Structure 1
Amino acid sequence: LSQFMDQNNPLSEVTHKRRVSALGPGGLTRERAGFEVRDVHTTHYGRVCPIETPEGPNIGLINSLAVYARTNRYGFLETPYRKVVDGRVTDEVEYLSAIEEGNYVIAQANAEIDEKGSLADELVSCRHQNEFTMLSRDRVQYMDVSPKQIVSVAASLIPFLEHDDANRALMGSNMQRQAVPTLRAEKPLVGTGMERIVASDSGSALTAPP
């Protein structure tokens, strides 16, 4: 697929480069794609954003890569996890594909950790074989790297996203890409910390090395 890059603002550039499409040569057509193909799937976790997608005939067929997602050499999407050994969270990060992920017990990023770096609670909320469950901390093998790893760059710019209705978050993600840059920009009162990363990664802002 070849398109002219959307250069409305820095976010629209970054998002356009991180687009994932089920259409095109060898793919689906809008008319043939059913509800099952368009719906959010458990394997999207940390790889494809469950929020950012167009409204209309392309819904669910055109998606956005999650913040930390990457493609491996075989073309599969991978997402990073921190390794957990005997209930202790290490700094070792491993990228897993959806196929590999199903074999492991994975804790959430906001699981409580004590000062020694171990999981504080006896029972931890985990994902195992695409199911959410509560398991003993000794059984945990990996842990999410960040709560924002499940969403795209645009969705991660929405403050207090977890309190929003999914439909409104979808509209907010899409409308941010249509914002016109102003001559005298003002700093927002509330941010998520992703603003600087988007501005620098888009290449539209020149920055001096630290």
Structure 2
Amino acid sequence: EEDVATTIEYLVRLHAGETTMSVGSGDSAREIPVETDDIDHFGNRRLRTVGELIQNQVRVGLSRTERVVRERMTTQDVEAITPQTLINTRPITAAIREFFGTSQLSQFMDQHNPLAGLTHKRRLSALGPGGLSRERAGMEVRDVHPSHYGRMCPIETPEGPNIGLIGSLASYARVNPFGFIETPYRKVTEGVVTEQIDYLTADEEDRFVVAQANARLNEDGSFAEDRVLVRRKGGEVDLISPTGVEYIDVSPRQMVSVATAMIPFLEHDDANRALMGANMQRQSVPLLRSESPLVGTGMELRAAVDAGDVEV
């Protein structure tokens, strides 16, 4: 009851244009900001995985089958009914076939080279049923958002009408059971970086102060400098004392996708050219006898092994 009352109060204050409200009572009383949700924030956007999409199609097929069974039960003789005469599996088969045959999200896998297949399996799309359309999608939806950090690559996206609507999962990101994308961070305790790794969603990350992976460390894991460059909620950047740091990135390539992480000296490239490089690697002709690259970033072996197409 209290939750419902607080929710209604929040909405009323939001509509009235107020900026803060007090919640709790006694010692636990505190002021919270009253603001509209950012619909582009990854805390408010969840991933519908392939399994969930097929599950929805099976549900459609089962409901059609149920309708057929109910009709047959009313028309057929009760004494002569058998499961075989009642149940027809065709609606379920048709629903699944419909998904794989006609859905916008069902595509032939790109197999130009091992990286193309791996990237295609890690693709994220805002298009399709229940999503956006190219025509309706504005600039805000397509733009890079601070909550994409470590979750969706800010570089690898198609050029043209799909720009920003089709993305690629970041190198270390994973999807939790609720469909939200998590990214790993190393825990920092009293200014010392520990081996503990926590996966955080975009909402959880907003509560913490996070340092970059390239921050200089001493042998014992403590920060080598008096001031550490960190980021806070909303992408705010700050220089603070090491004791104020709560997490640190696990790797400098955490924010980019597998294909983008294969570009040597990525930080010296213009973002537009890096986008072209990430996309064009997928178009290269594979070798009959695989060779290691002359200039690599360390991502090549892992990508080749995980693609499952290459003898290493």
Structure-1 residue corresponding to 2:198: 94
Partner amino acid, structure 2, of 1:88: V
User: Deviation at 1:129?
Assistant: 1.1
Query: 1:184 Cα shift?
Result: 4.4
**Which secondary structure state, in structure 2, belongs to the residue aligned with residue 133 of structure 1?**
strand
Greater relative contact order (Cα 8 A, min sep 6): structure 1 or 2?
A: 1
Q: TM-score by structure 2 length?
A: 0.65
Residue 186 of structure 1: how far off its partner (Å) = 4.2
Does 1:175 pair with 2:280? yes
Q: CA deviation at 1:185?
A: 4.6
Residue matched to 2:298: 193
Structure 1: which 4+ aligned runs deviate by more than 4 Å? Answer: none
Which amino acid letter does the alignment assign opposite residue 194 of structure 2? T
Using the aligned pairs only, state the percent identity: 66
1:110-157, CA deviations, whole angstroms, 9 ceiling, x for partnerless residues? Answer: 001001111111110001112111111001000000000000000000
Gaps (5+ residues) in structure 2? 1-104
Match of 2:241 in 1: 136
Between the aligned partners of 1:183 and 1:205, the Cα distance in structure 2 is: 10
- Residue 189 of structure 1 and its aligned partner are, at CA, apart by 1.9
Distance across 2 between alignment mates of 1:114 and 1:185: 39
What's the C-alpha RMSD, in Å, of the aligned pairs? 1.0
| Aligned counterpart in structure 2 of residue 155 of structure 1, from 241, 250, 260 | 260
| Residues 42-80 of structure 1 deviation map (CA, whole Å, 9 limit, x = unaligned) | 000000000000000000000000000011111000100
Judging changes above 3 Å, is the alpha-carbon distance between structure 1 residues 72 and 185 closer, same or farther for their aligned structure 2 residues?
Answer: closer
Q: What one-letter code is carried by the residue in structure 1 that aligns with 2:149?
A: Y
SS at match of 1:20: strand
Q: Quick one: which of 61, 67, 70 aligns to 2:174?
A: 70
Q: What letter is aligned with 2:181? A: L
Q: Residue type matched to 2:240 in 1?
A: L
- State how far apart, in whole Å, the 2-side matches of 1:111 and 1:186 are: 34
Map 1:25-44; keep pairs closer than 5 Å: 25-44=129-148
SS at match of 1:125: strand
Once the two structures are TM-superposed, the CA of residue 202 in structure 1 deviates from its matched residue by 0.4
Select the residue among 111, 134, 147 that pairs with 1:7: 111
Q: Secondary structure at the match of 2:229?
A: strand
Report SS of the residue matched to 2:283. coil
Aligned to 1:200, the other structure's residue is in SS state: helix
Equivalent residue number for residue 46 of structure 2: none
Structure 2: how far apart are the matches of 1:112 and 1:160? Answer: 19
Greater Cα offset, 50-59 or 129-138: 129-138
- Residue type matched to 1:19 in 2? R
**Structure 1: runs of 5 or more not aligned:** none
User: Structure 1 length as normaliser, TM-score?
Assistant: 0.96
Paired residue for 2:216, among 90, 103, 112? 112
User: What is the CA-CA distance between 1:161 and the residue it aligns to?
Assistant: 0.2
Identify, as 1 or 2, the structure richer in strand: 1
Instruction: Kindly tell me the number of residue pairs found equivalent between the two proteins.
Output: 207
TM-aligned CA distance change 1:73 to 1:185, over 3 Å:
closer
Highest Rg: 1 or 2? 2
User: How far, CA to CA, are the matches of 1:147 and 1:173 in structure 2?
Assistant: 17
